[in-house]
Amino acid sequence: MYVGFIAKPYLYYMHSSHPIGVFDSGYGGLTVFRSIAALLPEYDYLYLGDNARAPYGNRSFETIHQYTLQCVEWFFKMGCPLVILACNTASAKALRTIQQNDLPRFGSEKRVLGVIRPTAEVIGNYTRTNTVGVLGTKGTIQSGSYELEIRKFFPDINIYSLACPMWVPIVELGEYNSPGADYYVQKYIDELLTMAPDIDTLLLACTHYPLLVEKIKKYLPAHVQIVAQGGIVANSLQDYLGRHEDMAAAITKTGAKRFFTTDDTTDFDVHGLTFFGSEIKSEFVHL
């Protein structure tokens, strides 16, 4: 069969490794991957950050779907049977279309999971006042996905959502510890508290936001608990693999982790260290 010169090398490669794919638009998914790898260290993993095109948060549905699908296809070509979208924006705007329209042509054994449903399943257990604040990107908040999913499990909960469009760029550019970041952290927290003074739980519905947690605490009343998604998603994946033995068996288990970025690997390794909590040696991929 003639395959031509433009075909990419991974198309030819028969994979002996079948890792779990973990995806984010950039660095944020590393905060989730960190928890997953700590809880389930025996599995092999590939992480892909689409840093060259991040942030996704302010982009249209079509663009987010197109970018996410391209990354999911790459994971499948790299031998992953299961991909976790460790990105709320991609989970909100692309996951359903990928699961319903795109996945069938990749084969029935492939799976793509997101981070919104596992979070929605448990968030109501955190609140005593039944009032939760949800902070996310413009794409995640405007999609209304959290309201929809949370109400399936906790119909009586009061949800106050706010988009924080400046937070991902601040984090992605490595400015999360800078004094300049305080302005935008305080701005959005003040807006949320004005809208919803009774919240006792704040969900960080963007995997980049844990990097801002110390600044968020500064502007939030002490009684409001902050919930990040890493542990929640890791527990949910453990549960999923326990219930899907075929999938668990299909994933190779040597504890190997590889990191890929669509942008500069040096930047990725430097920033990634903070997000992931240990040394990273990333590889460049052109999608």
Site string for ligand DGL, 222-261 (x = CB under 6 A): ----------------------------------------
Among 110, 208, 215, 271, binds ligand DGL (CB under 6 A): 208
Alpha carbons within 13 angstroms on the beta-carbon side of residue 131 total 11
DSSP secondary structure string for all residues of the chain: ----SSS-GGGTPPPS--PEEEEESSSTHHHHHHHHHHH-TTS-EEEEE-GGG---TTS-HHHHHHHHHHHHHHHHHTT-SEEEE--HHHHHHTHHHIIIIIGGGG-TT-EEE-SHHHHHHHHTTT-SSSEEEEEE-HHHHHHTHHHHHHHHH-TT-EEEEEE-TTHHHHHHTT-TTSHHHHHHHHHHHHHHHHH-TT--EEEE-STTGGGGHHHHHHHS-TTSEEE-SHHHHHHHHHHHHHH-HHHHHHS--S--EEEEESS-HHHHHHHHHHHHSS---EEE---
Active site residues: 87, 206
Nearer to ligand DGL, 55 or 124 (CB): 55
| CB of 54 or CB of 170, closer to ligand DGL | 54
Site for ligand DGL, residues 80 to 109, rule: CB under 6 A = 87-89
- Verify binding: residue 168, ligand DGL, rule CB under 6 A: yes
- Which residue, 19 or 57, is less far from ligand DGL as judged by CB? 57
Rule CB under 6 A: say whether 206 interacts with ligand DGL. yes
Figure out which of the listed residues 22, 54, 185, 203 binds ligand DGL, where binding follows CB under 6 A.
Answer: 54
Least Å distance, CB 91 to ligand DGL, is: 8
Which of 19, 21, 23, 28 is the binder for ligand DGL (CB under 6 A)? Answer: 28
Q: How far is the CB of 93 from ligand DGL (least distance, A)?
A: 9
When binding is defined by CB under 6 A, the residue of 140, 236, 265, 282 that contacts ligand DGL is 140
Q: Which of 19, 21, 57, 133 binds ligand DGL (CB under 6 A)?
A: 57
**Residues at the site binding ligand DGL, with contacts judged by CB under 6 A:** 24-26, 28, 54-57, 87-89, 137, 140, 168, 206-208
